[in-house]
Amino acid sequence: MNKNKNVLIAGGGISGMVAATLLAEQGFKVELYELSNELGGKAKSRRTKNGNPIEHSHRVYSKEYKTLLPILAKIPDGDGYVIDNLIGTVGAILSNANGEILIKLPFRQQKIFDSLEKFLFYPIWNVVQVLLATLIFPYKMTRVGIPIKESIWCLFKHIQFLMMCEQRQEKLFSGKSYGEFLEIENKSDNFKRFISAFISVIVAARLETEAIGCARLFNHSILEMRTTIKGFEHLSRTMIMNGPTSERLFKAWHKYLTDLGVDIHLGVGIKSIDTNNNLVKSFAFTDGTTATADHYICAVPLVVLADLVKQDGLANIDPSFLNVDQPKMEWSNSVQFFLKALPTNNATFFQPGVLNLHLDSPWDIVSIIQGKGIWENVEMPSDMPYVLSVTFSNVHANGVVFNKPLIACSDSEIFEELLTQMGFVDRHLIAGWHLDYELAIMEEDEYQQKKRFLRSHLAGNVYDGKRMMTYAPLCLMRPNQKPLKTVSQISNFYLAGEHVDTYYRIPTMEKAAESGQRCAMQIMRQVDTSVAEAMKPQDNDLIKPFLFVQRLDNLLYEWQYQ
């Protein structure tokens, strides 16, 4: 074992697991600590007492996940690999609660070209796809009452953005909100409502969220501006697992880490960080133990990191930690409805494998039916073969039935509100349901007594003497908020998670994976630079839309500013 190859990782979510995987594969001795009793962080799934599968929210995988997908492709699972468990979604529907389809977004299977065809025709084909989307989009927007003039302006604003190099994007739009990027104050009310709902139902973002991440999201979703990773051209554009996430992904990943020699400690969270000058000396854990290593990775949620920063004085060493608690935290939680059969009155909307974006729902709802017909070889209660998974985020908006925000509603009121906002008519098909296991409701007096002992959370306002809280809030950067860097000024201390600077600006599994990869690469550079460079994911550059224009703009940018 080479010198300086011991790594200690706090946090067993996707970012910590990616870092542990990449480092262990290169011969590092890795110890991984996770507060929960299983790996997976926010993405893990569970089972109710009667065997129904539940998740913190449904999980959608993009073909352009160039960090996460290659890892899934090397984790053994039965006779194949975890990536074999991904199946394509049929498409997405943007709908309203009146049973009306506003916009259809079919997810087409991408044609696989040979090398010559790829070189000659694929770049042209991608441009044609964008032109078609540009022509069709304004017409579709008339379905939601948006003037064609505003739709065309919106498209060209985003096309102009994607033709810029990343440096120019940062220079022009860093510090701006998405609302400022779109000059939203000058647009119609229908335009404001659509854009606000669109980014909210997909990733719980708001118009106040920083512009760059939201603009990239729009281009990926509407204009289908997506890269393809070499070797993954055959995958569908948007995918889901063919079973509950922990059973199809994290169980196999845990075994893979163990086989690599990673020492995994479950049920043990980080308690404090001991430093000396600009070095971490040790991590202390909730079970009373202390561990040391050459390198330390903190892959915990931002709310946990903020507590550590305040407690252990990390900002005295690295001033960038001073604003660690400033990013906007949003709610994003779920409910699973267990169905006896598929709905009939709303069959167009509620079909297995179809993402439904309920644009006019005050609580910004996204739903999908999974289970029979989608999941393979998954044990399910025989009388409840389907799972309607519903994710909501705008918990402070008043509902349409009780005129109260979600955090002020009882369980029965949440049940009624969600189904009404989705326009779900066939209530008799619901055999049971389960509210997100990351949510909790507590009497205010009890909360005040216990809050300092509760694990890190985001609490809502008090209603009727009770307070709802989520243990898994999303971190969305404000326009003027600088994300934390992977490498801190504490020289052997590295950060991973949704609050860390990556190409992906919006919280996703890919953002978490990319942050974990960056930690691993930074540590490897200190040991073997060639190995770190070889780990970089490779885009299939020939088919990346507008790559030539972006590179040309990069040369122009360097000439202008350097």
Whole-number Cα distances in Å, 500 to 150, 231, 504: 34, 28, 10
pLDDT, average across residues 391-406: 94
Look at residues 344, 364, 337 and name the one whose alpha carbon lies nearest to residue 97.
364
Question: What would the pLDDT profile of 231-253 be if each residue is shown by its tens digit?
Answer: 777 777 788 999 999 999 999 99
- Residue 121 — pLDDT band, cuts 50, 70, 90? low
Summary mean pLDDT of the chain = 85
Q: How far apart are CA 236 and CA 241, in angstroms?
A: 12
8 A C-beta contact, residue 131 and residue 521: no
> 3-state class of 388 per DSSP?
strand
Question: What would the pLDDT profile of 194-222 be if each residue is shown by its tens digit?
Answer: 888 888 877 778 888 888 888 888 887 76
8 A C-beta contact, residue 194 and residue 146: yes
Residue 370: is its pLDDT beyond 60? yes
* 371 phi and psi angles, rounded to 5 deg: 110, -135
- Residue 59 — pLDDT band, cuts 50, 70, 90? confident
8 A C-beta contact, residue 349 and residue 95: yes
Q: Who wins on pLDDT, 100 or 434?
A: 434
Residue 19: is its pLDDT beyond 90? yes
pTM (predicted TM-score): 0.89
* pLDDT over 70 percentage in the chain: 87
Q: What angle do CA 359, 184, 326 make, to 5 degrees?
A: 85
Whole-number Cα distances in Å, 70 to 115, 195, 236: 21, 33, 15
Least confident piece of the model among 129-133, 176-180, 329-333, 341-345: 129-133
Q: Who wins on pLDDT, 121 or 494?
A: 494
Q: Which residues pair with 145 in a beta bridge?
A: none
